[in-house]
């Protein structure tokens, strides 16, 4: 796999590390963008559409976990998380949020570069999904059409958008805050009742038993997961 033109976004509050790692990756053929905090990283990610994000967990103001949640709500961009800990609980939390790989500090630039290449190769091999089927539920993203056992469902635009965001992040927990931002917009920040209301409305339409859902699951304290 050629790396020419592949853009890597580095988000870390260590300016020296950013400069040295950025120089190393550029020497390896990558295009590099750098951000010293989470907010700046999110802005760059929305404007530059990186092919991969290297993200530090321990940052002031906005921790890497929150940055990861916001990135995952927007896109499927591969994420490698830099952590000073090797604890299993951190990795479980990261995988739940959709992190693709972990590198524990301190690390060698050669190791990280190799992991970047491996993650990009896996991402390139993934086919683009235009539809999703699970059990008797089918979602056609191109036609914005949802069916259960072949019968079309009458979903409102907001219900469909909520289902689409969850489905495109299937098997990954999407925080309620991220759903609000993606489905309702930033003006609804903190209005969690909107999410709860529409999740229940969706369950009544797509689940055989809304009280015991199979497709839209609640991860208490984290958000919702589509299976």
Three-state secondary-structure class, residue 10: strand
| Pair 112, 88 in one domain | yes
Determine how β-strand 151-152 pairs with β-strand 145-148.
antiparallel
Q: Which domain does 178 fall in, by range?
A: 131-226
The phi and psi torsions of 224 (rounded to 5 degrees) equal -130, 150
| Pair 117, 212 in one domain | no
Please list the residues that pair with 151 across neighbouring strands: 148
Nearest partner of 204 among 164, 167, 156, judged by Cα:
156
CATH number of the domain within which 76 lies: 3.40.50.2300
Q: What region does 106 belong to: left with phi over 0, alpha with psi -120 to 50, or beta?
A: beta
Rounded to whole angstroms, how far apart are CA atoms 81 and 104? 8
| Pair 151, 77 in one domain | no
Given 90, 125, 160, the domain boundary residue is: 125
From first to last of its 227 residues, the chain has per-residue pLDDT tens of: 446 678 999 999 999 999 999 999 999 999 999 999 999 999 999 888 899 999 998 888 888 888 988 888 777 789 999 987 666 666 777 777 778 888 888 899 999 999 999 988 887 766 556 788 888 999 988 788 999 999 999 999 889 989 988 988 888 888 888 888 778 876 666 678 889 999 999 999 999 999 999 999 998 877 899 98
Whether the model clears a pTM of 0.75, i.e. scores above it, the answer is no
Nearest partner of 176 among 191, 157, 160, judged by Cα:
191
């Amino acid at each position: 796999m050629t790396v020419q033109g592949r853009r890597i976004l580095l988000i870390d509050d260590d300016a020296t590390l950013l400069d040295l790692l950025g120089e190393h990756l550029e020497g390896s053929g990558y295009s590099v963008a750098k951000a010293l905090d989470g907010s700046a990283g999110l802005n760059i990610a929305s404007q530059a559409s990186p092919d991969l994000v290297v993200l530090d967990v321990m940052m002031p103001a906005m921790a890497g976990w929150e940055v990861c949640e916001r990135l995952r709500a927007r896109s499927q961009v591969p994420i490698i998380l830099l952590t000073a800990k090797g604890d299993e609980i951190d990795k479980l939390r990261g995988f739940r949020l959709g992190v693709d790989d972990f590198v524990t500090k301190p690390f060698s630039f050669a190791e990280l570069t190799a992991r970047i290449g491996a993650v990009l190769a896996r991402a390139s091999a993934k086919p683009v999904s235009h539809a999703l089927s699970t059990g008797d539920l089918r979602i056609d993203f191109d036609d914005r059409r949802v069916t259960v056992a072949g019968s079309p469902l009458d979903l409102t635009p907001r219900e469909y958008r909520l289902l689409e965001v969850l489905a495109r992040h299937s098997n990954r927990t999407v925080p309620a805050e991220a759903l609000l931002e993606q489905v309702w917009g930033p003006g609804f920040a903190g209005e969690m009742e909107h999410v709860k209301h529409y999740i229940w409305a969706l369950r009544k339409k797509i689940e055989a038993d809304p009280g015991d859902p199979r497709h839209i699951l609640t991860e208490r304290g984290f958000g919702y997961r589509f299976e």
